[in-house]
Structure 1
Amino acid sequence: MIVRTLEEAEKSDRKVQSKTWDSVRLLLKDDNMGFSFHITTLYAGTETRMHYKNHLESVYCMEGEAEIETLADGKKYEIKPGTIYILDQHDEHILRVHKEVKMACVFNPPVTGQEVHDESGAYPLVVD
């Protein structure tokens, strides 16, 4: 059994920060569960372009207000507490944060822990 607290993980190298967000990676590839689980905070007034070419992601909004735009079709969706969005087609998107959001995120395949977005908006795929 694995037991961790968000508070402990926030004080460790499991917390990764970028210009527009920070992410506490509670479950990683080395935990051998087949997915990773993160609590991610995106800062108010920011815009983050993402394109997970190597991962599928599900995102559940716990706090805040944002808008997601899928770049393939220009559709926009309101994100607020209780909303889940699933990037099942490796959707290239922009997340615009109106009021700081806190999200619970699941990645498949799992990330190793220190990933940040590359110039295309993706995380690299780490293969053993």
Structure 2
Amino acid sequence: MIVRNLKDANASARRIVSPDGNWESTRLLLKDDGMGFSFHITTIYKDADFHLHYKKHLESVYCISGRGEVETLSDGVKYPIEPGTIYILDKNDDHMLRAFEEMQMACVFNPPLNGKEVHHEDGSYSLEAEAVVDE
């Protein structure tokens, strides 16, 4: 059994802050845990507006708090995000994410992240990034 506490993880190497200043993510479950997916609590900062395109990962995102929108770039459709909303990037969807308020999100990635991923210029993650080492 694996048991972790968000408060403890926030004070460890599991908390990653984006270099662009749009988000921070605490990676509670990672590839090395052997579950076949990773699970993160991610905060999207207010007024963030950025491009994401996970070409090698599928992601499900559940909004815990805050408000914003996700826009699919293939068709320009905008979907409101509010507490209780889930959006699922089941086709490696190229999209924009906008936070009208600070948003807290629960995110699941398949394949799982290693832990140190931050977005490339094209909005994607590397498939084999550096792993987080627990202290």
- Normalising by the residue count of structure 1, what TM-score does the alignment of the two structures yield? 0.98
Which amino acid in 2 is paired with 1:88?
D
Q: Could you tell me which residue of structure 2 aligns to residue 81 of structure 1?
A: 83
Q: Could you tell me which residue of structure 2 aligns to residue 53 of structure 1?
A: 55
Per-residue deviation, 1:72: 0.5
Per-residue deviation, 1:126: 1.4
Q: What is the number of equivalent residue pairs in this alignment? A: 127
Is 1:117 the counterpart of 2:119? The answer is yes
Aligned pairs for 1:1-128 (under 5 A) are: 1-18=1-18, 19-126=21-128
Gaps of 5+ in 2: 130-135
Gaps of 5+ in 1: none
Higher strand proportion: 1
Rounded Cα–Cα distance in structure 2 between residues aligned with 1:52 and 1:16: 18
Which amino acid in 2 is paired with 1:7?
K
Regions of 4+ moved over 4 Å = none
| Identity level (%) | 61
Rounded Cα–Cα distance in structure 2 between residues aligned with 1:58 and 1:4: 21
Per-residue deviation, 1:46: 1.0
- Normalising by the residue count of structure 2, what TM-score does the alignment of the two structures yield? 0.93
2:16 partner SS: strand
